[in-house]
C-alpha cells in the first residue's frame, strides 16, 4: 500500500513538472507583484522589480516607462511620484497551470498632474483591474492588464 501511494505521489509530481503546473511559490510571486511592486511604488528598487518579473518581461500594453523590467521600474517610479499612497490589492486570484488571473482593486490620491487632470483635485480614485500573468522559473514573464482609468478620471474630476 505504501509503495503504491509513494509511486502515485512521485508520478503526480513528475506530471506536474512536465505540464508546467504552477507551484505555491508561483502564487507568492504573483502576490508580490501587488504587495511589493504596485503598492507604494516610489520606494521600489530595480532589484525588487527583477525579483518578481523577468528581465525581458512582456506587458500588454507596454508600460509608459518602456519594455522589460527596466521599463517597468521607470513606470513604477513615475506612478509613485504622482500617487504616493497608491495601493493595489488582489481581490481574487484564479489559476490555470502557470497562468494567474487577478481581479484587483487600485486606490490612490494623485498629488500632481494625472491623465490630463491638472492641477490635482485632492480627490481619490478606487478602480478595478484585471491582469493575466504567466509565471516561468519563479518570475512573471508576461502580463496582460486592463484598468478602469476612465472611472478614475471621473472620480478625480468629481466636485
Domain with 94 in it: 22-157
Alpha helices by DSSP H, listed for 1-159, are 2-18, 24-32, 46-52, 68-82, 149-157
| Structural domain contains residue 37 | yes
| Structural domain contains residue 59 | yes
Whose cell is 507568492? That residue is: 28
| Structural domain contains residue 10 | no
Number of compact structural domains in the chain: 1
| Structural domain contains residue 15 | no
| Structural domain contains residue 79 | yes
pLDDT digits (tens, 9 = 90+) for 87-142: 999 999 999 999 999 999 999 999 999 999 999 999 999 999 999 999 999 999 99
Residues 6+ apart with CB under 8 A from 22: 95, 97, 98, 99, 100, 135
| Structural domain contains residue 143 | yes
| Structural domain contains residue 12 | no
pLDDT digits (tens, 9 = 90+) for 63-97: 889 999 999 999 999 999 999 999 999 999 999 99
Q: What is the pTM of this model?
A: 0.83
| Structural domain contains residue 76 | yes
Please report, for the domain that includes residue 141, its CATH number: 3.10.450.50
Amino acid at each position: 500500500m505504501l509503495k503504491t501511494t509513494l509511486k502515485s505521489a512521485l508520478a503526480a509530481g513528475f506530471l506536474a513538472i512536465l505540464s508546467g503546473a504552477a507551484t505555491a511559490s508561483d502564487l507568492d510571486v504573483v502576490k508580490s507583484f501587488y504587495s511589493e511592486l504596485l503598492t507604494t511604488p516610489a520606494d521600489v528598487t530595480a532589484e525588487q522589480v527583477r525579483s518578481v518579473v523577468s528581465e525581458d518581461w512582456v506587458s500588454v500594453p507596454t508600460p509608459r516607462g518602456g519594455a522589460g523590467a527596466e521599463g517597468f521600474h521607470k513606470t513604477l517610479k513615475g506612478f509613485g511620484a504622482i500617487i504616493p499612497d497608491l495601493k493595489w490589492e488582489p481581490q481574487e486570484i484564479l489559476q490555470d497551470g502557470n497562468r494567474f488571473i487577478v481581479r484587483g482593486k487600485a486606490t490612490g490620491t494623485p498629488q500632481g498632474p494625472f491623465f490630463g487632470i491638472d492641477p490635482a483635485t485632492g480627490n481619490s480614485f478606487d478602480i478595478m483591474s484585471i491582469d493575466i500573468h504567466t509565471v516561468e522559473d519563479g518570475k512573471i514573464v508576461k502580463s496582460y492588464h486592463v484598468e478602469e482609468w476612465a472611472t478614475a478620471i471621473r472620480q478625480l474630476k468629481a466636485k
